[in-house]
A and B are shown apart, each in its own frame.
Chain A
Amino acid sequence: MSTTMIRVTVKELCEREGVSHDALLEVIQHEIAEPLEGSCVDDWCFDVTSAHWVKRALRLQRDLEIDWIAVAMLIDLLREREALDRENQALRQRLERFLTAGEG
């Protein structure tokens, strides 16, 4: 059985993804993700979902060569779209249940 983890540390992000402390500071300053705990950069960690967005933000910043404000806006919109897609799917399912005649 494989152990599931719910956190990613800053050390892991930096070593494995080649992320610099400066880039991480930008991510946090632009409120793309909020670290869970730790008083200095090295002690920080992220929950796995936030780490996913941190990595996406860093890739987009590098590959599209855009500034951090644009990255932050892009990530906000992508997050919102993901949430809306989920909500839309759930509401469609509920509506269908309500409109179909008979059981359920």
Chain B
Amino acid sequence: MEFKDYYQILGVEADADTPDIKSAYRKLARKYHPDLNPEKDAEDRFKEVAEAWEVLKDKERRAEYDELRRYGGRPQNDFEPPPGWRSSASGESPNFSGDFSEFFSSMFGGGFAQGGAGPRAQGFRGQDIEIEMPVFLEETISDVSKPISYELPVMESGQLRRSKKSLKVKIPAGVGDGERIRLRGQGAPGQGDAPPGDLYLHIRLVPHPVFDVEGHNLLVTVPIAPWEAALGAKVTVPTLDGKIHLTVAPKSQSGQKLRVKGKGLTSKIGKGDLYAVLKVVMPDSTSPDVEALWQELAQKAAFDPRTEWGNKGGGKS
């Protein structure tokens, strides 16, 4: 097994005093704590740091570790404690509050890491797993059953490996972005007869090609021609479950919202609304005839949209 240099892990000298070690630990814990740092290797880094602190904060454990360090010296892959080595610092039934390495266990006893930053609960219950669950907007209208597959950490003959698991889950109607749901017993298996952990699904609504979400309301951007904005129009607008007809009033503005009651997302507090947001779009190309009509319109309308800026006539320059 690999010898762990706890001083190096915490970035302190071997003769550092406890307050300095504590300060180094806190700095690194803040940086790598998996609840603060979402990066992939942060959790492993944090576990190392926490293990180093667990040993070095305790006088007796630190003294024993120092002794072993003199014996085992440098980081290497074939470290074994001296024959007959037995820790006196951990007592008969060690009860450490973290997930520690094989190296730690060889010194101070206790089972070693199953992964996860949480405490090892009594009886080595399996670790809870949280995964992101992408859900399409259409799937939130009613209860839907979805297949998922994820990886579980499994201990086999002292080795940690990953095993794939697949199951079908019922996603209740009206789930919202960021919500979490729980599947009892679908986390990592427990050790021996201990129960498995739970699986937590973190719901993420998949960005929709047409609709945007605002709370439990939906927004749909409706492109309209300039003359539709000017004269009004009847347009067909998609909703999550079919199409509806909307009347665009004459003299409508870009960005104006039209509310369609009850055509939003389903939620615990009822159905949301759909807002059609108007967006005036210019045609890509125009013929000379149309160009002439625009010219005529520009002269007749005599409209300056920038009067607020107070630069009279600025719009025409």
Contacts and interface: CB of A to CB of B under 8 A. Distances in A.
Interface in A87-103: 89-90, 93-94, 97-98, 101-103
Contacts of A90: 212-214
A96 to B, nearest CB: 10
A6 interface: yes
Interface in A1-18: 1-8, 15-18
Contact of A15 (B121, B130, B145, B221): B121
B121 A4 contact: no
Interface of A: 1-8, 15-18, 48-49, 51-52, 55-56, 59-60, 62-65, 78, 82-83, 86, 89-90, 93-94, 97-98, 101-104
Interface in B97-120: 97, 117-120
28 contacts: A1-B167, A1-B170, A2-B170, A2-B186, A5-B181, A5-B183, A5-B184, A16-B121, A16-B125, A17-B118, A18-B122, A48-B180, A48-B200, A49-B179, A51-B182, A59-B117, A62-B119, A64-B29, A64-B33, A78-B35, A82-B178, A86-B177, A90-B214, A98-B255, A98-B279, A101-B282, A102-B284, A104-B209
Given A93-B212, A102-B223, A49 B117 contact: no
A26 B209 CA distance: 45
Nearest to A64: B29
Contacts, number: 110
A93 B200 contact: no
B33 A2 contact: no
- From DSSP, what is the main secondary structure of chain A's interface residues? helix
Contacts of B33: 59-60, 63-64
B189 to A, nearest CB: 14
Contacts of A104: 209-210, 221, 223
**Interface size grouping (class) on chain B:** 35 or more
Contact of B118 (A48, A55, A98): A55
A93 B137 CA distance: 15
Interface in B156-179: 167-172, 177-179
Contact of A2 (B26, B168, B177): B168
A5 B183 CA distance: 6
Given A94-B212, A98-B221, A59 B178 contact: no
Contacts of B259: none
Contacts of B209: 104
A8 B181 CA distance: 10
A3 B184 CA distance: 8
B246 interface: no
A8 B168 CA distance: 21
Ranked nearest first, the 10 interchain pairs of A and B with the lowest CB-CB distance are A18-B119, A5-B182, A48-B180, A48-B182, A56-B35, A49-B180, A94-B212, A4-B181, A2-B183, A97-B221
Given A2-B168, A16-B125, A18-B122, A63 B117 contact: yes
B14 interface: no
Contacts of B279: 98
B305 to A, nearest CB: 18
A6 to B, nearest CB: 6
A60 B29 CA distance: 9
Nearest to B168: A1
